[in-house]
A and B are shown apart, each in its own frame.
Chain A
Amino acid sequence: MELLDKISRVLNEIFVWIAGFFLIVMILLTSANIFLRLVWMPVKGTFELMGFFGAIVTALALGYTQIKRGHIGIDILVNKFSAKAQRILNGANYLICMIFFSLAGWQVAKWATTLWQTGEVTETLRIIFYPFTYGVALGCIILSFVLLVDFLKMLIQKQEPHK
């Protein structure tokens, strides 16, 4: 379990650095586009690249945000339940979300494969963009993995009193 947890943390730490890199690229690209537009001509394809970079920035931070409990929820009622009930409810919560994001990741990956096979390119730069779509799929799968680790931790926690 500890190994899985460590893998999850290391993976998400790497992904958050990649996401941070793309965030900086977004700022530099937009600033360069504004400056060059004023003095010469705009950077071609900024609009579509920003969308793709934004997708990577967010998707690769999905797992990290879950680890840091950054997604907002309502715990006002759950906190009133017994510890055992809370564990069961949290477990159900993690399991449902894990299944959902696995399905979502699979669907986005399927979409990316279609884009790859049909040779779809962007309108302005005429470049392939399926790697970004695979990036979003990867983000969803990593989030599922984090949720799986959370679920397993919950199960182990539940068994502890019996040890």
Chain B
Amino acid sequence: MNLVLVGIIGIVILLLVLFFLGMPVGFAMAVVGFLGFCYVVSFKAALSMIGADLWFTFSKYGLTVIPLFVFMGYLAFSAGIAERLYNAAYKWMGHWPGGLAIATIGADELFAAICGSNTATAATMGAVALPQMKKYNYDTRLSSGTVVTGGTLGTVMPPSVVIIVIGLQTEQSIAKLFLGGILPAILLGILFVLTILIICRFNPEFGPPGPKTTFKEKIKSLSGVIEAITIFILVIGGLFIGLFTPTEAGAVGVFCTFIVAIATRRLTWNGLINSIKETLKISCMVFVLVTGAIIFGRFLAVTRITFIVADFAAALPVSPYVILAFILLIYLIGGCIMDALGFLVLTIPIFFPLGIALGFDPVWYSIILTMVTTLGAITPPVGVNIYVVKALAPEIAIGRIFKSVSFFLMACIVSIILLIIFPQIVLFIPEMLH
């Protein structure tokens, strides 16, 4: 049988296994990749391949960055850093129309700088900000959407688990990718704030101004920001000047966050144990995803389907940006039907070589994929952040949260368009690394 046809059948079987068996994405990719390799090469070679890939992937130094950054995020979560960030942002911006929602985005931006997960960012900030916004009679169509979409900053702002996974899968410098995510995350935050201001301009009752605070209170609240900024500067600054490898940066981040947690006496024994267990669970899930993608990638490589698709797309008589728009649309739809990280890992073996064949800068293309992946976390029916907010505030109808998110989706789309028009927003800081 033609190898390309075998590759296509493999992809179809993978989708069937994913949708009809509900098999976890990492397992499904590994199983289908193994069976495909058996068919194309041999059973013996496939057995050796899974043994070797499991050991070499699990023991890869580069992958150790994942548990460290995940642990840093969970420690920050357990240590109540988010509360102090929100408190500071609230003191400075709470008295503006929609100020509490803007404060949520500001605190999200800072918390994202020490936490690499959108779900953890949404859960942490939701727990802090939703009761406050409820207290000041914020309309849930503004408050819920702010928390849901603000969480996406955790994916774009370094350190981000999604960026780490892209870096590991495509063998790019994680430091460069981290630096590439800084300005897009700030841009996204600004667009979210503009969205809030526009909403409150037309619907002032959605975000009534909170109480005014004195200058002294404002200055005092900054102590809660300094610790997060210090950790961010140490971690990302150390990476930028080449003082640390990404794994070392993760360890430094954990160490500093732990010191802050101890100094502020917020970390309990149970909090620490839960942080470790959650870290192990998330890291294991990501390792299995990456290993599954590597095994599936081996099968695709022997069928040469990825190269053929890339060559075919590159030879099409249309602008690469038309193909990019098509890829982004697939990610948008994919993010709606399955977990965004799972979809990303699943599609990287095909779409990354395709983007490179089209002549896109790998760092820029990776950040664009990260941005569009974040949309998957906030779009129905499987937008995980939506369910995080629903769990935190069960009284808010899910339809109301969807409506609230729809206001912010435009900001996400505009930010992706701006990054496509002005790639320097992504590339400016990484190019300074040269």
Residue in chain A with minimal CB distance to B18 = A74
A136 interface neighbour in B55, B61, B276, Cβ under 8 Å: B55
Q: Is B60 an interface residue (CB 8 A)?
A: yes
Q: Is B360 an interface residue (CB 8 A)?
A: no
Q: B279 to nearest A CB, angstroms?
A: 7
User: Are A61 and B23 neighbours in the complex by a CB distance under 8 Å?
Assistant: no
A76 interface neighbour in B51, B338, B341, Cβ under 8 Å: B338
Residue in chain A with minimal CB distance to B63 = A54
Q: Is B247 an interface residue (CB 8 A)?
A: yes
User: Are B281 and A61 neighbours in the complex by a CB distance under 8 Å?
Assistant: yes
Known: A27-B251, A53-B64, A70-B282. A77 touches B19 (CB 8 A): yes
**What's the Cα separation between A97 and B31 when bound, in Å?**
7
Residues of chain B within 8 A of A19, CB atoms compared: 280
Q: Is B364 an interface residue (CB 8 A)?
A: no
**What's the Cα separation between A104 and B395 when bound, in Å?**
46
User: Are B67 and A26 neighbours in the complex by a CB distance under 8 Å?
Assistant: yes
Q: Is A64 an interface residue (CB 8 A)?
A: yes
B341 interface neighbour in A27, A47, A72, A89, Cβ under 8 Å: A72
User: Are B60 and A51 neighbours in the complex by a CB distance under 8 Å?
Assistant: yes
Residues of chain B within 8 A of A70, CB atoms compared: 281-282, 284-285
Query: Considering the complex, which residues of chain B in the window 1-54 have a beta carbon less than 8 Å from any beta carbon of chain A?
Result: 18-28, 30-31, 34, 47-48, 50-52, 54
Q: B27 to nearest A CB, angstroms?
A: 5
- Chain B residues bordering chain A, tally (CB within 8 A): 58
User: Are B280 and A50 neighbours in the complex by a CB distance under 8 Å?
Assistant: no
Residues of chain A within 8 A of B289, CB atoms compared: 72
Give the contact-size bracket for chain A. Answer: 35 or more
**What's the Cα separation between A61 and B66 when bound, in Å?**
14
Residues of chain B within 8 A of A74, CB atoms compared: 18-19, 22, 25, 337-339, 342, 382
User: Are B19 and A54 neighbours in the complex by a CB distance under 8 Å?
Assistant: no
User: Are A92 and B338 neighbours in the complex by a CB distance under 8 Å?
Assistant: no
**What's the Cα separation between A52 and B60 when bound, in Å?**
8
Known: A54-B63, A61-B284. A78 touches B24 (CB 8 A): no
Q: Is A116 an interface residue (CB 8 A)?
A: no
User: Are B280 and A107 neighbours in the complex by a CB distance under 8 Å?
Assistant: no
Give per-residue flags for B259-290: 1 if the beta carbon is below 8 A from chain A beta carbons, else 0. 00000000000000100110111111101110
Known: A104-B50, A108-B51. A55 touches B21 (CB 8 A): no
Residue in chain A with minimal CB distance to B72 = A27
Q: Is A148 an interface residue (CB 8 A)?
A: no
Known: A74-B337, A76-B381. A20 touches B280 (CB 8 A): yes
User: Are B48 and A107 neighbours in the complex by a CB distance under 8 Å?
Assistant: yes
Q: Is A23 an interface residue (CB 8 A)?
A: yes
Known: A65-B284, A111-B52. A51 touches B61 (CB 8 A): yes
**What's the Cα separation between A17 and B287 when bound, in Å?**
18
Known: A27-B255, A55-B55, A58-B287. A72 touches B337 (CB 8 A): no
Residues of chain A within 8 A of B19, CB atoms compared: 74, 76-78
User: Are A100 and B22 neighbours in the complex by a CB distance under 8 Å?
Assistant: no
Give per-residue flags for B276-307: 1 if the beta carbon is below 8 A from chain A beta carbons, else 0. 11011111110111000000000000000000
B280 interface neighbour in A55, A65, A75, A104, Cβ under 8 Å: A65
Residue of B27, B30, B252, B381 with most partner-chain A CB within 10 A: B27
Query: Considering the complex, which residues of chain A in the window 23-49 have a beta carbon less than 8 Å from any beta carbon of chain B?
Result: 23-24, 26-27, 30-31, 33-34, 47-48
User: Are A103 and B23 neighbours in the complex by a CB distance under 8 Å?
Assistant: no
**What's the Cα separation between A54 and B48 when bound, in Å?**
22
User: Are B26 and A71 neighbours in the complex by a CB distance under 8 Å?
Assistant: yes
Query: Can you add 13 more A-B contacts, CB < 8 Å, to A78-B22, A92-B21?
Result: A20-B277, A30-B248, A34-B252, A58-B67, A58-B284, A64-B277, A65-B288, A68-B281, A73-B342, A96-B23, A104-B30, A107-B47, A107-B52
List 30 contacting pairs A-B, 8 Å CB cutoff, sorted by A.
A20-B273, A20-B280, A23-B276, A24-B276, A26-B67, A30-B250, A30-B252, A31-B255, A34-B248, A50-B61, A50-B247, A54-B59, A54-B64, A62-B288, A64-B281, A65-B288, A70-B284, A71-B25, A72-B26, A76-B19, A76-B382, A77-B20, A78-B21, A93-B22, A96-B31, A104-B50, A107-B47, A108-B51, A111-B51, A136-B59
B residues near A (Cβ < 8 Å) are 18-28, 30-31, 34, 47-48, 50-52, 54-55, 58-61, 63-64, 67-68, 71, 244, 247-248, 250-252, 254-255, 273, 276-277, 279-285, 287-289, 337-339, 341-342, 381-382
Nearest 5 pairs of A and B residues by beta carbon:
A107-B51, A30-B251, A71-B24, A54-B64, A78-B22
